[in-house]
């Protein structure tokens, strides 16, 4: 039986970079985007594991593909279809492979969405962030709520029945009421999946220049001037869980909610340690316990530099740590049997002191052969996961 493999394709282009974004993304000409598509296809044809040979892929089947960015829907639909066809030519695909693409409102009309469907894309992830036009403008988004509605309706019209909507809370000036209004508006659309993240003020972004000191003020327990205070952010977090659960979307990961059977298989694969290959500028890969990434220099990439950068062979210690703190992101937690099969030792012995303490504090629980965060543990997940770093 073939083993599972996931593919990630990075499309770094945007119409305009958002004020909070620190991802590898930028705007550029149509000519460069076309050249990038051709380079990407060449990279796929030449793909091989870092330090390995192309034949190493023969025992794998692709179970998920994710086009991320940037804004992948900036590319013409025919270019996305051509990239996907190159992947199908190079790799063995599972018949039920989940194939996702990120899409921003205003960058994908009905014809483009129809071409996505025809090429085999079966999951759409729409970057809304907020249903409030004022908040969208402040974020630097290029769309309005009305633009989102048109894109969403077009996606439904062409047959997409697995749609995620990205949302962002704790925005500057955002109130509990405006956040709840966003949730109510989005839930009325009846999406299969919602990703709801709190804004993180990242260094090197316009938001850091504008709100970095305010973020530091909040971290010290002081009252921020522009950002919601800690209590308001906590209330947003709790209300998100309540409203989404009431609408039939269960929380299967710290920030992700889905109807039964619509969890993002690609992201679950990351958290469960499934090997993945990344294609495109700056894309990361993890295969055969080796991690690497591609160049972030666009000109070098266009010239054919697809070499592995900063190759790292993970030690067993690092593999164990990742198994725990990635697996614990999921509501189902980690399997004790899976831990033993992979590492030949019992998780209860490896983390005896940590588990005893976290169980006593009510942050972890053991059930049905699994270890998982309690609801309170989910709220304090960063603190809990830090405990699983081995000496």
pLDDT tens string 153-195: 999 999 999 999 999 999 999 999 999 999 999 999 999 999 9
pLDDT digits (tens, 9 = 90+) for 93-138: 999 999 999 999 989 999 999 999 999 999 999 999 999 999 999 9
Average pLDDT over residues 239-257: 97
pLDDT value, residue 52: 56
pLDDT in tens, 39-76: 999 999 988 766 555 557 888 999 999 999 999 999 99
pTM value surpassing 0.85 = yes
Residue 310 in 3-state DSSP? strand
Mean pLDDT of the chain: 94
200-233: buried (b, 16+ CB within 10 Å) or exposed (e) per residue? ebeeebebbeebeebbebbeeeeebeebbeeebb
For residue 208, pLDDT over 70 is answered with: yes
As a whole-number percent, the residues of the chain with pLDDT over 70 amount to 98
The pLDDT tens digits of the residues spanning 301-313 come to: 999 999 999 999 9
Nearest alpha-carbon partner for 91 in 123, 36, 50, 49: 49
Q: Give all domains of the chain, ordered by start, each with its CATH number.
A: 3-271 (3.80.30.20), 316-391 (1.10.10.920)
The predicted pLDDT at position 58 comes to: 82
Average pLDDT over residues 373-386: 92
């Amino acid at each position: 039986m073939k083993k599972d493999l996931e593919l990630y394709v990075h499309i770094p282009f945007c119409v305009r970079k958002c004020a909070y974004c620190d991802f590898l993304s930028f705007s550029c000409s149509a000519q460069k985007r076309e050249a990038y598509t051709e380079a990407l296809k060449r990279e796929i044809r030449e793909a091989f594991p870092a330090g390995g040979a192309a034949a190493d892929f023969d025992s794998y089947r692709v179970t998920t593909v994710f086009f991320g960015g940037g804004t992948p829907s900036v590319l013409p639909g025919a270019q996305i279809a051509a990239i996907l066809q190159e992947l199908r030519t190079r790799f063995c695909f599972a018949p039920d492979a989940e194939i996702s693409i990120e899409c921003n409102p205003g960058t994908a009309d009905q014809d483009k969405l129809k071409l996505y469907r025809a090429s085999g894309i079966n999951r759409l992830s729409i970057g809304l962030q907020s249903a409030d036009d004022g908040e969208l403008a402040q974020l630097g988004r290029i769309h309005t709520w009305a633009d989102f509605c048109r894109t969403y309706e077009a996606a439904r019209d062409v047959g997409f029945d697995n749609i995620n909507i990205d949302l962002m809370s704790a925005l500057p000036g955002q109130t509990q009421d405006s956040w709840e209004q966003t949730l109510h508006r989005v839930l009325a659309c009846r999406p299969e999946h919602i990703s709801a993240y709190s804004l993180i003020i990242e260094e090197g972004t316009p938001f850091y220049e504008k709100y970095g000191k305010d973020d530091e003020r909040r971290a010290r327990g002081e009252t921020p001037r522009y950002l919601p205070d800690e209590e308001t952010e906590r209330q947003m977090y709790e209300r998100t869980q309540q409203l989404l659960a009431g609408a039939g979307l269960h929380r299967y990961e710290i920030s992700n909610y889905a109807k039964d059977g619509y969890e993002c298989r690609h992201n679950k694969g990351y958290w469960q340690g499934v090997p993945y290959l990344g294609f495109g500028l700056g894309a990361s890969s993890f295969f055969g316990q080796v991690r690497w990434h591609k160049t972030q220099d666009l000109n070098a990439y266009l010239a054919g530099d697809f070499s592995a950068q900063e190759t790292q062979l993970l030690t067993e210690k690092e593999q164990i740590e990742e198994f725990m703190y990635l697996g614990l992101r999921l509501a189902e937690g980690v399997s004790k049997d899976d831990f033993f099969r992979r590492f030949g030792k019992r998780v209860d012995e490896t983390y005896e002191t940590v588990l005893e303490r976290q169980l006593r504090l009510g942050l972890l629980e053991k059930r049905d052969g699994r270890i998982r965060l309690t609801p309170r543990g989910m709220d304090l997940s960063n603190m809990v996961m830090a405990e699983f770093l081995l000496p």
